[in-house]
Structure 1
Amino acid sequence: MPMIFSEHMEQYDLEIVFPQPGPFTTMHSADVDVVAIHGLNIEARYLVHRDTWSYKGKVWPRDILPSCFGKHCRVMLFSYNDGLSVNDEDTQFTKHADRLLRLLMEKRKEDPTRPLVFICHDVGGLIVKEALAKAHLDKSGTIISIDQFTRLLVFFNTPHHNVAKSVRTIASAAVRPTPPEVLDMLDKACNEHVERLAPLEQRGRLYRRRLVINFHACNWYRGKHLLVEKEDTMCNVRHEYWEKHFTVYGDHISMCKFPSSDDVTCETVLKTIGLNTYLAMQMVC
């Protein structure tokens, strides 16, 4: 069970939440692996890897999303130290990406070719992009399958442009004030991230053979301001990218929380994910 993070402990987990683990659970019927990655824990939630996607106990990637795949899927939640109040290492997206890759390889040993879908909230998207970049450049053949079999990327308010500015704005909106030195560490981490990934993004290496969906929150967070500008949530690097962009009527936090499958936003998001996963898998057949 994930714990509250502190500067004295490190906790990473890739929790399988669907199907529920049990003596009769089998993965042979799963057509796709879905991995959800949270962003900065600006509301100081105890279990941010679940609370990011939760509304009154209903975690939609676990309780609603599997219906999009006829329940022939496996859903996992990645948890990591978000770096808002700890040390320099915890602001490094590469560190989190390394742990994500390692855990994915462990979970996918029985079928490393199963298609992958990543669902990401704010900097969770940066972590996934770091992981895909490292997998793409892998010369050993150990982790390259993560890049090869990723079919769909879903981003909720992930900044693809003006990264440092957007992440600082998000971190500054935290309910517990983020120390200035941590904001500076995040600035550094974001700038290093952009520098590392720029060559791959410009050559189209991060998004080829897969579909990209960007959801943007159009409501002000806590009635103050947008945390990520609409233009910054669009990749728009190469015209041939298979990219789609949708506006979500919620703020930076509520855009990931759905009360039920009957909710209009939930229905739109799930249908978009389900349909585009099918299309992405067909495009590479």
Structure 2
Amino acid sequence: MVRPVTDEDIGLKVLRDAPANAADTAQAAEIIDIVAIHGIGAHPDDSWCKHVGTAENTRWVNWLETENMLPAVAPHARIMRYGYQSQWFGEGAMRQKASTVAQRLLLALRRRRKEYPHRPLLFIAHCFGGLVVLKALLDAQQNESEWPGTFASTTGLIFLGTPFRGAEGISQVEMLAAAQREYQQDEIQPEVLKILEPGNEFLQEVVDQFGRTRRQANKALVACFYELKSSNVGRIVGKTDRTRFVVSESSGCLDLSVATSKYSLSRTHFDMNKFGRPTEEDFETVRDVVRDMSLLYQSLAKRARC
């Protein structure tokens, strides 16, 4: 059961600030902002947590802020997560769509990065959150004066199970029918599911437009991760087991190029964004990608000072 999202959970939350000793030194030029964005039907904080305890001794680990995990990989980074209302069924269901979340994300980034609008940005996004990132970057590129620095400063994109060509394993019709069996009509807001449908025109346009824009104006490194285990999608809103792959390898990967790579994670769609220990093999794979992206920028920053 997803924990209710409150007003305090929404927006950009700093999980680990940039090192204080780098503020007035040459290292300040090497600081980057890392922003994590969750998917649909998830809590902004719990989305990144894995239970590593026992039934008697509960212990959750958030790999974005646990010191020997992401902070250790990117010691010069300010680490944040962005939260939004993503519940589409049940009490508190919110009418939501990717373009709305993208605009709110841009507003939050502009506020938080006001002093450093051109600081390098690295996004880590799960599922629907990746589509929000694409839409936000397109909007930022089309209106640079409104969103200064956001598009040009994005140097790395990490997508965890983002359905660039739709989520084949989650049928909008089936999910809606399951929700209608469990909830009242006014407790269901299915608009957010539309972009996940294979063949959705808005989804195709966003992905195609980002591909064209990226080739012309942005050289950010991109890493796409896809799942190797099937997920019980039937349990999302109903009580009937229905096990499927949510995002296939082909849907979860943008076209390969020099600046784009793809990796598999031995996880279901719903836990590929959760890591509990730095020794987990899947975390090590993600860790290496984050490290390579941040080290590349730091190397370029050092050369610029020479």
TM-score (norm 2): 0.75
Q: Structure 2: which 5+ runs fail to align?
A: 52-59, 233-241
1:212, 1:178 → 2: CA distance? 39
Residues 274 and 160 of structure 1: CA distance in aligned 2, closer, same or farther (over 3 Å): same
Question: Do the aligned residues in 2 keep the contact of 1:49 with 1:79 (CA within 8 Å)?
Answer: yes
Tell me if 1:210 matches 2:220. yes
1:170, 1:123 → 2: CA distance? 18
Tell me if 1:231 matches 2:250. yes
**Once the 2 structures are TM-superposed, how far is the Cα of residue 280 of structure 1 from its aligned partner?**
5.5
Residue number in structure 1 paired with 2:80 = 76
Question: Do the aligned residues in 2 keep the contact of 1:211 with 1:280 (CA within 8 Å)?
Answer: no
Larger Rg: 2
Residue number in structure 2 paired with 1:121 = 126
248-257 vs 198-207, which moves further: 198-207
**Once the 2 structures are TM-superposed, how far is the Cα of residue 213 of structure 1 from its aligned partner?**
0.4
Residue number in structure 2 paired with 1:106 = 111
Q: Structure 1: which 5+ runs fail to align?
A: none
1:108, 1:162 → 2: CA distance? 32
User: What RMSD, in angstroms, separates the aligned Cα atoms of the two structures?
Assistant: 3.6
Question: What letter matches 2:224 in structure 1?
Answer: N
Residues 240 and 179 of structure 1: CA distance in aligned 2, closer, same or farther (over 3 Å): farther
Question: Do the aligned residues in 1 keep the contact of 2:98 with 2:131 (CA within 8 Å)?
Answer: yes
2:61, 2:10 → 1: CA distance? 23
**Local SS of the residue matching 1:62:** coil
2:172, 2:298 → 1: CA distance? 36
**Once the 2 structures are TM-superposed, how far is the Cα of residue 53 of structure 1 from its aligned partner?**
1.1
Question: What letter matches 1:84 in structure 2?
Answer: W
Residue number in structure 2 paired with 1:200 = 209
Residue number in structure 2 paired with 1:264 = 281
Residue number in structure 2 paired with 1:161 = 165
Question: Do the aligned residues in 1 keep the contact of 2:127 with 2:163 (CA within 8 Å)?
Answer: yes
Cα deviations by residue, 1:52-106 (Å, 9 ceiling, x for unpaired): 111132111111111112x211111111011412799733111111111111111
The count of corresponding residues between Structure 1 and Structure 2 is 268
Residue number in structure 1 paired with 2:12 = 14
TM-score (norm 1): 0.80
2:172, 2:156 → 1: CA distance? 27
Question: What letter matches 1:230 in structure 2?
Answer: E
Percent identical: 23
Cα deviations by residue, 1:155-181 (Å, 9 ceiling, x for unpaired): 000011136x566469939x9768896
Question: Do the aligned residues in 2 keep the contact of 1:38 with 1:121 (CA within 8 Å)?
Answer: yes
